[in-house]
Amino acid sequence: MRNAFIDELVGLAATHSQIALVVGDLGYSVVEPFADRFPDRFINAGVAEQNMTGLAAGMASEGYHVFTYSIANFPSFRCAEQIRNDVDYHQLPVTVVAVGGGLAYGSLGYSHHAVQDYALLRSFPNLTIAAPGDPMETRACMRWLVANPGPSYLRLGKAGEPSFHSQVPAVEPGRWLEVSAGGVEHGALLLTTGATLGLAIERQRNNAGPKPAVHSLPLWGMASKPAQAAQVAAHQQITTFEDHLRDGGFGSWLMEAVCDRPDLLGKIKTEALTPRVCGAVGSQAMLNAWGGLQP
């Protein structure tokens, strides 16, 4: 996903002169294609992520669409006040790019886990969450974000994720994408956001009975809740699947979206990480399984 992101960013920056990239002294071996081609729109803010976000907000107020880039927990939790006050409140076109969402950097321990980021970012009313499930969805999210500049959070996997779409899909906030059809039309559904798409596809393949469909929701947030009821109503059962703690996560967001519809709430089940991962160190696959996400 990182490579798809930077490739798409370079292509978009070639035709959008307002695009800029600011990094927190991370991303080298990934960001060079942008830095080499657009040196006047590339800034290394150093290990000073809060300043990086304030700088990005200032640039955005002068007409830039700024992408800030770092490992997932650093540009989000460390910069919570700057995102809230400088970016979201003023509705500025700053995209916070978080690499290694979930437990992708699990071997570096809890300081590098990003398993509460949805809970934080989705509480900001003007911010759109972009959590693509594969490189094709990454490209789709990038195109939408540039065409619709505003406060946003782009949550990427680390590297090596397979593509499940044959081409770049059309995306819009709140609209589910069918990735793999199920065995029963409008039957059971696995609904995922972010890099757990691969685990959901495995779950579908391993199911001994009728295969559940797999859908992805790469763009969502507070503003896209009203679009959920009709989509939930069209299926018999929805199980949300995410590499985030259940509290404040994607499944909780979907249940909030239909909380005034008791007939729909009963259709939704949530699968998410348990808090036991918060004190654990290990590979992403090991920690996902340890936390309860089994393919």
Are residues 76 and 185 part of one domain?
Answer: no
CA angle 71, 86, 13 (to 5 degrees): 60
Q: What is the pLDDT of residues 45-93, one digit of tens each?
A: 999 999 999 999 999 999 999 999 999 899 999 999 999 999 999 999 9
Are residues 143 and 14 part of one domain?
Answer: yes
Torsion sign over Cα 267, 128, 107, 277 = negative
Q: Which of 80-84, 183-187, 268-272, 283-287 has the lowest mean pLDDT?
A: 183-187
Are residues 182 and 103 part of one domain?
Answer: no
Residue 167, in any domain of the structure? no
Residue 171, in any domain of the structure? no
Looking at residue 150, which CATH number applies to its domain?
Answer: 3.40.50.970
Residue 240, in any domain of the structure? yes
**d(Cα 37, Cα 20) in Å, to the nearest integer?**
12
- Among 126, 156, 186, residue at a domain's last position: 156
Are residues 36 and 133 part of one domain?
Answer: yes
| Domains identified in the chain, total number | 2
pTM of the full predicted structure?
0.96
Q: What is the pLDDT of residues 136-178, one digit of tens each?
A: 999 999 999 999 999 999 999 988 889 999 999 999 999 999 9
Are residues 21 and 142 part of one domain?
Answer: yes
Residue 163, in any domain of the structure? no
Are residues 206 and 246 part of one domain?
Answer: yes
Cβ-contact 279, 110 below 8 angstroms: yes
**d(Cα 95, Cα 146) in Å, to the nearest integer?**
9
Are residues 210 and 118 part of one domain?
Answer: no
Cβ-contact 50, 58 below 8 angstroms: no
Range of the domain at 133: 2-156
Percent of the chain with pLDDT over 90: 91
Are residues 82 and 135 part of one domain?
Answer: yes
